[in-house]
């Protein structure tokens, strides 16, 4: 199970790289159109084009990546808690430190690259929102582990209820439906806050690590059912997006929209990947290596993609209109840049600081 989860971690960070690259490609399609066409921006003429649907498809069908990270992190916390009477704060603090130092360093690097200071706490937390969410969950582990052991169904029910509540209010906001107190609630629950940072997945991983860590063979028996579920639910994610997209009109670029179908879809992807443990993956060793470096890739990915995008905006604006080429360049920058930087630091005198940079 551990080896398979490391491979899932590697696959998830590759999905994150593609996800970020597709977001910049959409920006070039609508916000930077004047750099390669005689139009004013924002320009939505390419809405509905094959390139548009391809980029949106990438964003939608890779939505499972952050849930996978949270599930894996929860699983390891649960596996550590298994058999122990209680979880102590000092057990989780090393994991918090591994996340906290790179978060601080790369946030400083990000604003150095942007050449400005943040104007709010949201600006500080939001770009790497996954990290503060994970830190909060690690700090909550000593509190929620007893419930995960005694009554895991109640814990998952509460987590799913909170998840659906926050998602539902955001969903209604996307549709233009305003309820009393809705905007205040959304303002008080930014996505870097654990209650709104997809709160089902870490407890689910925690429960899985405590109670179901040895159920891999049962999952194997369900592998074809789970694969079919991935295909069907993936189609449902796309259909749901298309319906909301049509309801909101051409200027609603919902690539950040997370619909209700993403929850069962993400669950199916995670369990399906684990269920095929009896099959060896192509490049499984490479996936494991990437998975072991996932935090460093995640932190360095955003500055690398941003710098390359800005350079292309200024130096090669004509390339922005070739969306597939632009996307591929950003993917190479977002994955290759962090890996090269990590290798360079590891083989330099600065290697003693490696952990502070990349975890």
Number of domains the chain is built from: 1
Among 281, 267, 275, which residue's Cα sits nearest to residue 7?
Answer: 281
Alpha carbon distance 317, 315 (integer Å) = 6
| pLDDT, tens digit (0-9, with 9 covering 90-100), for 72-126 | 999 998 887 776 656 676 778 888 889 999 999 999 998 888 888 888 888 888 8
> Binning pLDDT at 50, 70 and 90, where does residue 253 land?
low
* Contacts for 320 with CB less than 8 Å, ≥ 6 apart: 28, 32, 35, 36, 312, 313, 326
pLDDT 10s digits, 256-281: 567 789 999 999 999 999 988 777 77
What are the structure tokens assigned to 131, written together?
Answer: 């990290």
pTM: 0.91
CB neighbours (10 Å) of residue 53? 13
Residue 161's domain comprises 2-358
Expressed in angstroms, the distance from the first to the final Cα of the chain is 23
Place of tokens 């952990």: 355
| pLDDT for the residue 257 | 64
Q: Report how far residue 191's alpha carbon sits from residue 63's, in angstroms, rounded to the nearest whole number.
A: 15
The structure tokens 């083989």 sit at 347
Mean pLDDT of the 135-164 span: 92
Q: Which of 88, 83, 94 is nearest to 143 (CA)?
A: 88
Dihedral sign for Cα 289, 290, 294, 297, please: positive
Phi, psi of 176 (to 5 degrees): 85, 10
Among 1-10, 23-32, 296-305, the minimum mean pLDDT is found in 1-10
């Amino acid at each position: 199970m551990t080896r398979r989860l490391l491979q899932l971690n590697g696959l998830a960070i590759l999905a994150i790289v593609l996800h970020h690259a597709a977001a910049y490609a959409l920006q070039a399609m609508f916000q930077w159109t004047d750099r390669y066409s005689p139009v004013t921006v924002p320009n939505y003429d390419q809405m509905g084009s094959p390139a548009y649907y391809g980029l949106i498809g990438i964003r939608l069908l890779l939505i499972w990546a952050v849930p996978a990270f949270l599930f894996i992190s929860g699983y390891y916390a649960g596996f550590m808690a298994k058999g122990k009477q209680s979880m102590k704060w000092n057990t989780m603090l090393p994991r918090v430190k591994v996340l906290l130092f790179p978060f601080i360093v790369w946030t400083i690097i990000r604003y150095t690259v942007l050449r400005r200071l943040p104007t709010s706490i949201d600006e500080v937390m939001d770009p790497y929102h996954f990290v503060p969410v994970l830190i909060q969950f690690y700090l909550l582990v000593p509190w929620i582990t007893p419930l995960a052991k005694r009554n895991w169904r109640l814990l998952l029910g509460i987590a799913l209820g909170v998840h659906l509540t926050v998602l539902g209010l955001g969903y209604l906001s996307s549709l233009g439906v305003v309820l009393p107190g809705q905007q205040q609630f959304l303002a008080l629950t930014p996505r870097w806050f654990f209650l709104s940072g997809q709160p089902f997945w870490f407890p689910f991983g925690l429960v899985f690590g405590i109670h179901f860590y040895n159920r891999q063979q049962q999952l194997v028996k369900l592998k074809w059912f789970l694969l079919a579920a991935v295909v069907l639910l993936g189609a449902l994610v796309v259909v749901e997006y298309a319906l909301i997209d049509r309801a909101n009109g051409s200027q609603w670029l919902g690539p950040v929209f997370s619909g209700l179908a993403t929850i069962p879809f993400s669950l199916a992807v995670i369990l399906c990947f684990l269920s095929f443990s009896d099959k060896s993956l192509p490049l499984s060793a490479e996936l494991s290596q990437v998975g072991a470096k996932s935090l460093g890739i995640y932190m360095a990915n955003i500055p690398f993609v941003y710098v390359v995008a800005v350079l292309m905006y200024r130096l090669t604006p004509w390339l922005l209109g070739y969306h597939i080429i632009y996307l591929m360049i950003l993917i190479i920058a977002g994955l290759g840049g962090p890996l090269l930087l990590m290798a360079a630091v590891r083989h330099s005198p600065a290697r003693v600081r490696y952990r502070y940079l990349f975890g």
